[in-house]
Structure 1
Amino acid sequence: MKVAAFLGSPRVEGNSEILIGEAIGAIEKKGHRVELFRPHAMDISPCNNCGGCEETGKCVIEDDMGGVYDTIHACDRFLVVSPVFFFGLPSQIKALIDRCQAIWCEKYLLKRPIPEGPYGRKGLLVMVGGMKKEEGFKSCESTAK
């Protein structure tokens, strides 16, 4: 099984990085492959709402998202570990998620099937936050879905 892991926090060695490291270690120990993405260290431009993906299912922006798209298409499982910043996801991981609009267009507008492989496709969202309100977690969950 192949897993795409996304670290949502820009904070080096923070709680999210510790958690994703533990999760990746456990996944790899079971013999699965994991590719880790750190959006804060990548060249990912924000979506500019040009509509190109609505026509082709591909984003017209040329940056590090090309490799992310390839991995997303090839993966069986997805892991996102992120803090909650002001009732939302950090801007770096949010830009990556926004750019996945191209995959949404590919599947739902253009009706192209996304390969599922023998394991199906599932995801896990792990969020870290210090506030005592659930609203921030709920908004992050909606965004990640």
Structure 2
Amino acid sequence: MKIVIINGSARKGNTLAAINAFIKGASEKNKIEIIEPDKLNIAPCKGCGVCQCSKGCVDKDDTNSTIDKIAAA
């Protein structure tokens, strides 16, 4: 199974400790990937609606690859 963890905390505190504890228990039989939004290039949504009619965002940033990783998990 693929598991995607989104770590929304830029600090290395309790959130990271909880993530690491989860990974320790789940990594044996699963493929785990951590996404850290603060390290990605994601532009604010323009509200154009293109993503609702076609696959993906018109912005050429990390949005589409992030969406693909989440959808594959």
Same fold per TM (> 0.5)? Answer: yes
Which structure has the higher relative contact order (CA within 8 Å, separation 6+)? Answer: 2
Q: Does 1:18 align with 2:17?
A: yes
1:8 aligns with 2:22: no
Letter in 2 for 1:6: I
**In structure 1, what is the Cα distance between the partners aligned to 2:64 and 2:24?**
26
Give the aligned partner of residue 58 of structure 2.
60
The C-alpha deviation readout for 1:82-129, integer Å capped at 9, x for no partner, is: xxxxxxxxxxxxxxxxxxxxxxxxxxxxxxxxxxxxxxxxxxxxxxxx
**Larger CA Rg, structure 1 vs 2:** 1
Q: Mind listing any 5+ residue stretches in structure 1 that lack a counterpart?
A: 76-145
The alignment yields a C-alpha RMSD, in angstroms, of 1.3
Q: In structure 2, what is the Cα distance between the partners aligned to 1:71 and 1:54? A: 18
Aligned to 2:26: 27
The CA deviation string for residues 34-55 of structure 1, in whole angstroms up to 9 with x for no partner, is: 0110011111112110111122
The correspondence of residues 122-141 of structure 1 with structure 2, limited to 5 A, is: none
Paired positions, count: 73
- Once residues 71 and 27 of structure 1 are traced to their aligned partners in structure 2, the CA distance between those partners, rounded to angstroms, is 18
Indicate the SS of the match to 2:19: helix
Match of 1:72 in 2: 70
Distance 1:54 1:70 in 2: 15
What is the CA deviation profile of residues 20-44 of structure 1, one whole-angstrom value per residue up to 9, with x for unaligned ones? Answer: 1111121103x11001100111111
Q: Secondary structure at the match of 1:40?
A: helix
Aligned partner letter, 2:32:
V
Question: Which SS does the other structure have where 1:34 is aligned?
Answer: strand
Q: Distance in 2 between matches of 1:67 and 1:57?
A: 11
Distance in 2, Cα, partners of 1:40 & 1:59: 19
